Each structure stands twice: as structure tokens, then as C-alpha cells.
Chain A
């Protein structure tokens, strides 16, 4: 046996098995076959190589090895002999006959391998079973002991079936538990729910001044959803309208013409005694149309009389919606999933239906709850008469987008909502200074509308601006006032004068001594003791305090600057083609320093462009782990979409990632381990952080020890 040939064979086998391809490379395989044909020694060597590859914990390697092996199996008797002698091992590695030795991941490939192996064993058995006893034994072993169904498309082995059964069993057990729980709950709760239902129904019945008996009827004919509406549509001639109903309903006689158009066919049955009817009723013709408006959506107002009722209904409604209905729904869900006896199911669904019916009835009532909360509150504090004086104000929560025009002043808003964010308003006390509107073009008006829309949105910068403005304006302007800025140039002199009104400042010591020179400024004078015979040892008469003296003469005026809204946008190009809309002052959190850009998002200044390019490179070099270029390339190949793996990531990943995988074509099994959990674990459980935590804990312990050292149970441990 030639050593070089041998090495070449080993190399070929390794290459073929680690290719990760679903099919073998035919050229290489042909070469292998050529070598194996030369002599049995090569076959021996090949057999050993293949068996080592079959033992690898990677389904792709095994699959490729299996494919090679079956090629040679069909050709060489010597190889068949070798393989069949160790057929059991072979079956364990490919068909998963040993439940404790499952096929390695990736799963899909393992499944494919098993299916292929089972099919192949079957075909081998058909061809060679006669000649090789052990092969047929193995076939029978698979068939009878391992219960491999050779016709099963899935080709599931016993182990797999067992696993599935176990899973099924577990699920069943869980379902059964749930079912039992639901049953128990149902037994406990049903009476309660029914009580609630009757209570609610009765309340509703009492609440709705139910002269028409609409609701009752509805309850009886539960399936006819809107009996009342049906009735209202009936023509006038129908006799089953009772008199008392007629009397209560608003009766309208429609126009003659209209009635003509909609002449009624349903009354044709009455034709024989037309005259009798006409005469007895005193109507001139049949061609009347009677329209009855029965207002089905009642408006129940809460009054003193029905307060108790409304309260109960409200409570019941809440109980039903929050508790009973979800509970019943969960029962129904459990029952449908498990498949329970019909009786139970029917009861549950019946309950659900009646609950829903009650809810819908409640909806129909349209009970006006509005004042309730206030009333309840008041009822609680009824003892204090002074409360009565308060005017009821409709409740509001936080931000109100619309403020009625007549309330604006009260709210501290300017009369008209500002349309441009840049416009700075003068104080409300002064006459409103309106900037002359420059050329309201269509686009500008749209812009303004957009702005005002933005202002309504509390999450938008414009809204904040408005709030700020509101806050700023009423405050006395201590500085030279922004109005000067706003009125720069365009405003008349008078207005300018008005704007240079003297500033109002709080009164202070400096104003008190304004223009005077004070000798004692900042001096603390301690008077000599007035005591007659006791004199302190030494007294410093005057202490000069620099701070105090400064305060006497000077004044702090906080200059906060003037709020200047941001007018530029980041405008960095986004992946979806639009430009970044953020309006940060100096730096966008996503795109960094804000630089002047043209309308396409390209930086205007060349040095900016250069800097950006450099940063981009740097970022690409430190690609996050999950964007493994190889993985990306795989995904790209699979989906046909460009995810950007073709970009070269850095000039060779330096350092830790530098080690290349040995067989780049195989699916990386460790890749699966890279889950969010694993990454977190890496962070949380890494050595230094653990050490830090233990240090802190030790310190805490120690402190306790120091503190309670004299107590025996701390002293001991």
C-alpha cells in the first residue's frame, strides 16, 4: 500500500465528509472509488476512516460518511463483510437504535440521515440479505425489536415514538389537571354567577321603564335580536299592534306621495272586507304609512330615585366583565381543548351566552354614569357644608388637546393658538403683537397645519415648546425681553418703545441703599458689653464680612439665556431611504454630531464626510457577534437577499475572533448556543462580576458581624 495514496485517501474522505453538502462531490467520490478498487487494503483503510467519521458528533458529517459508505457498500464485497460484522455499531450511529445514543444535531440533517439509512438498509436487505446473514438479522432486529416501520414515510424509530408518546402523555396530564380545576371552579361558581345574572336582569328590568315590555320580550325571544326594531318597521295596517302601544308611540303620518310609493303588499289578505275595515276605522284609504319611532337606545339618567339600582347594576357589571366572563371563557376554552362531555360544555356555553346577553342589555340601557364618582366622593364628605360651595368642574386628566375658546384665557392660553413655533409671544397683558404674515403660500399653510398638529401631540417637541411658552410668558421678564428679538426690524418704533419698558425686579438690600455709600456695609459690629462689672476678656469690635458687603452692593440676576427652538433636523440618511427627523440641538443619539447636510442627507463639508467615512469603517470592524459574516452569508444564500455580509468586515478580525473554524462548510453546532440567555449568562456569571458581587456581600456580612459581634449567633458564624 502506497503511503501517499493512503494519505490522499484520508484527505479525500475528510474533505468529503466535512463538506456539509447534502450531496457528495461526484468527482472526489470517483477518485475515492478508484483508490478503493485498487486493493482490499485501501478498503480496510477507508472503512476505518469512515467509521471514525461516523462517530463524529455532527449529523452532517455522519450523513456524508453514510453516503460514501453506501456507494462503496454496493461495490465491494470486502467492505460489505467489514461493515456487516460491525453492523450493530453502524445502526446505532445512523438509525439511532440505542435510545441513549441519539443522533447529533442539527436536527433536520439527523432526520434525513435516519430516513436515508432506513431506506438503504431495506434496499441492502433486498439485495444482499440472502448472502449476509447478519444483515438480514439486523433488518429483522430493526423491524421486530425496534419496530421500525419501513413503509412509514417518517421512518420514526421506536425511541422517537416513545419520546413523542411521553410528550403526549405529559400534555394530557396537564390538560386533565386543568379540566379538573375548571370543573371544580364551575361547581363552586355557577350558583354565584346565576345569582348575579338574575340580580342584574332584575335591576335592568327595573331601571328601564319598561312599559313596552321590550326587554322582557327580548329575554324571552332571546334569539330574535331586536324584536322591537322589527315591530317598528311594520306597516300601519298590521293589526297586532296593540292600542296602548299605539297611544304611547309617536305617530307620524307620512306624506301622501311617499305613502303611495311604498304601498303595502302585505295587506293584500284583507282585500275582501276592504270596505268594512275602511268604514270602521274611518280612514280614507289604505295608502297610509305609519312610522313608529321606538327609541331602543334608552338613555337612563341617574337620579336620586334610582341611585341604589344604578349602583348595583354598576357593581354587577364590573363583576361580570372583570371576573365572571373571563372565567367562563377560560372554562369553555379548556373544555374545547380537552373535549369534555357534552353536558358540561353546554352548561358552560349557556352561562357564557347569558352573561353576554346581560352585558348587551346593560349596553342598551346607556346608563349615564358620568356624575357618579363625584357624587360618591361628595357623599362621603357630606358632613362638611363648605364643600357645597365648590363648583362642579368636569373631570379632566392631564393634557387637554382642545380647550374651548371661551376658556382659553382661564387656562392661561393666548387667545389664538400660535401657528408658528418660532414666533415668540408678548405678555398677555400687553396687546397682542402679531407678526405680519409673510405670503401665505399653500406649502407654508400646510406646514403650519402640520406644526399645529404636532402641537396637539404631547410627545412632540412642538407641544413641549408650547408648554414652555406658556410658562415663560406670564413670568416677568427680567432680561431685556425676547420681544425685542421678535420685533427686530420690522416693528414700528412705538412698539419698540413699549417693549423697552423698565424691568421689574424684586426688591432687595441693594435697592434700599441704591446710590448711597454705606460705611457699615458688610461689617458686623459687636457692641461692647453693657455689663457693669463683668467684661469679656477681649472683644473684637468690628468683623468685616466680605460676602455680606458684596450683597449690599451688588445683585445677582440669573441669566438663563433665551429658549431658542431647534430649527434644524439631523437629516442623516436612514436605511429605508428617508432622512432622520430628529431635532436635537447638537448631537443626534443615533447619528452623532449634527452637521449641515444637503437634501439627500450627504454632508456638505468635505471634512465631515471624511470623518463619517472613517467612523463607519471603525464601526464595521467591531461588528457585534450575532452578525457573524459566515452566518449572514448562509442566510443570504438561503433567502437570496442582501444583508450586507459582502461588505468586508474589518481587515481580518483581529484577536479573539481570529481563529478560523476548522470546517467552515459544516453547520456550526455552537452557534445554536448563542441565545440571548447565553449572552446574558456570559455577562452575569463572568468571573469579575461574580467576584464583585461576593465582595459586596462579604462586606455586608462583615458589617453585621462587627455590629453584633457580642451576640452569640453572629459571633459563631
Chain B
């Protein structure tokens, strides 16, 4: 650490380097601890989480009971211990609440005054954060599995919506109407994602085990379909041609730079693709248990030197090296299946929500105080002593 600081001071290093090293260290030391709690509001499983990118302060969560909650993540109390409070809730008593399970929530990428939620009650609602009333409501024919707004779009304000219908719907926020459909899939659309690099590029994953990449300006069809065998016909059986997975493809995630695309499927595999060419990079992540019938929300780290993937895996969250495919750790803490996780890029914190109604905050462990700064040491001593007895062994003397 000191050497990094030194190098940074003397200008030997690129400023990014220190930051990367530190954030990587922090990610690697993620753990469940008492310093951070998230208020327990949901009375049912949590399907989706989203942290806004402007301040990195507010987090949205949507539950299977149709409730949407906004949390304040920022700790202003100047204490280590902090419990995230709820700012506001669209509870069951609200007139506008979703009737059925909320599947996806997303902040409007450029302003916290608005967010979008979609649900199994076949609607997608655009909410005004201030009044907590829907400003706009889109009706669909089938359950809405997912939607996504492009985080980088300047020229359009399209929301891609995946429903039970095999056609991907594009809704325009400007006009408040469904303006376009993308045809090509043959099953329910479980996940849609805009590229964080090009505003017109969209990836969709479906139960027909295919993942398609679209340019929404092109009307004729998808740009390409991801093929797990990279076009090698001999390996694939006739019906498995151009499939990304052998089961349902139910999760999509672009890397922060948008150069790569991660997909998960119910064949318990996760694959990393080159998002420009659609080539399977053949990184082997091993078995990633995935039994979800709906979309799976997973995330990647940002600004770390080797990047990491956080993917729900049964009752725990698995952390993989993005390019190495190496399983780094399993974050165990949930008592039931984990459905979603969200990475906080500023503080390298991870939030995960599961069917056990808990939102758990995984916070980096603080660096052990160095010997030099005795001042802090003595201050910490108090807290340490308070905690320590529980950590100590209690062998009785007669057992020696």
C-alpha cells in the first residue's frame, strides 16, 4: 500500500493503478459483517436490485410480493456500524403497487427522479420518485420478465422489454408507446441488456437457449447469434446449432467496458463472449448452479485490475475471476436461493437479495491497523475488546 502511495506521489505510476489495486484488494476481502445492515422490509423474496450510478447513494429493490423499496446506502453517521434505512416504499397499501411479483427495477440512468419497474402483472411502470406514482404504464400480453434502459444512450430513450412473447418489445419513453419489436427468438425472453459501449446494441437471452445481439437501427433481424461451439458444426447436434447454452439462457451481463458479454444458462454454465464478434472465449467457470426459471441477475466488478464476476449460485454468491474463470470465493450468508446481486462500484460493496427476504451487504474488511498509527490503534482497541470475547476459545482447564 505504502509503495503504491509512494509511486503515486512520485508520479511513477498511472493514477488508475493505485485505485485498481486498492479496489481489487477490497473486492477480495468482501465479507458479511456487522458493520452494514439493510433494513428488512420485504416480506417475501427479493427478485431484483439496482443501485443508481449518479450518486451511488440509493438502491432500489423489488420483491415477489410486488413491493418496491428505495434504500439510502450512504453512511452519514460517521460510525462504522450502519444500517441502511429505507427512504420510501411502494407498499401493498399503495394504490399503484404491482399486483404480482416485481421482476426488474431500474433507475433512470441520468436522474434519480425516475425509475422503471416491470412485473408479472403484465405491466411496466415508470415511476416518479418524488410522488411514488406511476407517470406512465405499459401493458403487455404476457408476464414481463425483464426490461433494460441503455446506460449510455443519448440519442434515444428506449426501454427493451422481454416478456413471455418471443418478440422483444421496444418502448419509447419520449412518446410513451411501444414503437418496435425485434423478431427472431422462439421462446420467452428472460433477459435483455443494452451494451454500455454502443447505444444501439442490445443483447437478449431466451428460453430457446439462444442469445441474440441486435442493432436496433436495423430492422431486418439480429446482428448475430452467439454460438457455444463458435460455428464448429461437428460438435453441435442439428438443433443445438447457434445456441449459447444447452438449457434456457437466463442471464446476461456486459462487462463494464462493454467489450465482453457474460451469459448464464440452466445447463449450469456461464460463458464469456466477445461482444463485438460473438465469439465464445471458452473461459471455463466450472459448474455454476442455476435452477432459476426466471431471469438471473448477476453483475461484474468495475475498476479492478483482474475483473470479477459475482453470480448467484444456489444459496450463495460465487465470485469468479472474469478472464481466468477461477472460483475465488463463495459468499455464504443467505438461507435460501439468491436471485440477484448488485455491485457498488464506488465502495466495492456487494448487495445480494434472495428468497429468504434478506438483502445482505457484503462489505470489504478494513485493513488491519498498522503499528505506526497508535492513535487509531488505541481507539480501535475498545471496539475490538468488546467483540473479542466471542471470538476467543473457551477450553476449560480440565480438558488440557
A residues with CB within 8 A of B: 30, 33-34, 37, 74-78, 85-88, 91, 97, 127-128, 130-134, 137-138, 140-141, 144-145
Contacts and interface: CB of A to CB of B under 8 A. Distances in A.
A36 to B, nearest CB: 8
B14 interface: no
Interface string B222-255: 0000000000000000000000000000000000
Interface string B334-374: 11100000000000000000001110100000000000000
Contacts of B332: 85-86, 88, 134
Contacts of A33: 395, 399
30 contacts: A30-B398, A33-B395, A33-B399, A34-B399, A75-B394, A75-B395, A75-B396, A77-B391, A77-B393, A78-B393, A85-B332, A88-B315, A88-B334, A97-B335, A130-B34, A130-B390, A131-B34, A131-B387, A131-B390, A133-B33, A134-B332, A134-B333, A137-B32, A137-B333, A137-B335, A137-B358, A137-B360, A140-B358, A141-B356, A145-B356
Contacts of B357: 144-145
Nearest to A88: B335
Nearest to B37: A133
Given A34-B399, A88-B332, A88-B334, 10 more contacts: A30-B398, A76-B393, A85-B332, A130-B390, A133-B33, A133-B333, A140-B40, A140-B358, A141-B335, A145-B357
A134 B32 contact: yes
Smallest CB-CB A-B distances: 4 pairs: A131-B390, A141-B335, A33-B399, A133-B32
Contacts of A97: 335
A191 B333 CA distance: 70
B327 to A, nearest CB: 15
Given A130-B34, A130-B390, A144-B40, A138 B335 contact: yes
Contacts of B398: 30
Contact of B393 (A75, A85, A91, A138): A75
Contacts of B382: none
Contacts of A78: 393
Nearest to B387: A131
Contacts of B32: 133-134, 137
Interface of B: 32-34, 40, 315, 332-336, 356-358, 360, 387, 390-396, 398-400
Contacts of B393: 75-78
B387 A130 contact: yes
A37 B387 contact: no
B333 A30 contact: no
Contacts of A134: 32, 332-333
Contacts of B392: 77
A145 B354 CA distance: 12
A127 B399 contact: no
Contacts of A75: 393-396
A128 B333 contact: no
Interface centre among B360, B393, B396 (most CB of A within 10 A): B393
A128 B393 CA distance: 12
B210 to A, nearest CB: 33
A75 B390 CA distance: 10
A485 B281 CA distance: 117
Interface centre among B32, B34, B394, B399 (most CB of A within 10 A): B399
A44 B395 CA distance: 16
A27 to B, nearest CB: 12
A91 B335 CA distance: 9
A128 B392 CA distance: 11
A256 to B, nearest CB: 96
A39 to B, nearest CB: 11
Contacts of A85: 332
Prevailing SS type, chain A contact patch? helix
A145 B335 CA distance: 10
A37 B400 contact: yes
Interface centre among A78, A128, A131, A141 (most CB of B within 10 A): A131
A91 B333 CA distance: 13
Nearest to A136: B34
B335 to A, nearest CB: 4
A144 B391 CA distance: 27
Contacts of B356: 141, 145
B335 A37 contact: no
A140 B37 CA distance: 13
A83 to B, nearest CB: 12
Contacts of B358: 137, 140-141
A133 B34 contact: yes
A86 B360 CA distance: 16
Contacts of A138: 335
Interface centre among B335, B360, B387 (most CB of A within 10 A): B335
Nearest to B33: A133
Contacts of A127: 390
A88 B32 CA distance: 15
A513 to B, nearest CB: 107
A275 B358 CA distance: 104
Contacts of A141: 335, 356, 358
A576 to B, nearest CB: 56
Given A141-B358, A145-B335, A132 B390 contact: yes
A145 B391 CA distance: 28
Contacts of B34: 130-131, 133
Contacts of B394: 74-76
A131 B383 CA distance: 12
A127 B391 CA distance: 11
A87 B315 CA distance: 11
A141 B34 CA distance: 16
B400 to A, nearest CB: 7
B390 A37 contact: no
A636 to B, nearest CB: 37
Contacts of B336: 145
A522 to B, nearest CB: 99
Contacts of B391: 77, 131
B399 A30 contact: yes
B400 A34 contact: yes
Contacts of A86: 332
A30 B399 CA distance: 7
A673 B400 CA distance: 47
Nearest to B314: A88
Nearest to B335: A141
A74 B356 CA distance: 27
B191 to A, nearest CB: 27
Contacts of A133: 32-34, 333
Nearest to A146: B335
A86 B330 CA distance: 11
A144 B336 CA distance: 13
A130 B33 CA distance: 10
B65 to A, nearest CB: 13
A131 B395 CA distance: 18
A133 B400 CA distance: 30
Nearest to B357: A145
A133 B35 CA distance: 9
A138 to B, nearest CB: 6
Contacts of A30: 398-399
A556 B32 CA distance: 110
Nearest to A81: B391
A130 B383 CA distance: 12
A75 B395 CA distance: 5
Contacts of A130: 34, 387, 390
Contacts of B40: 140, 144
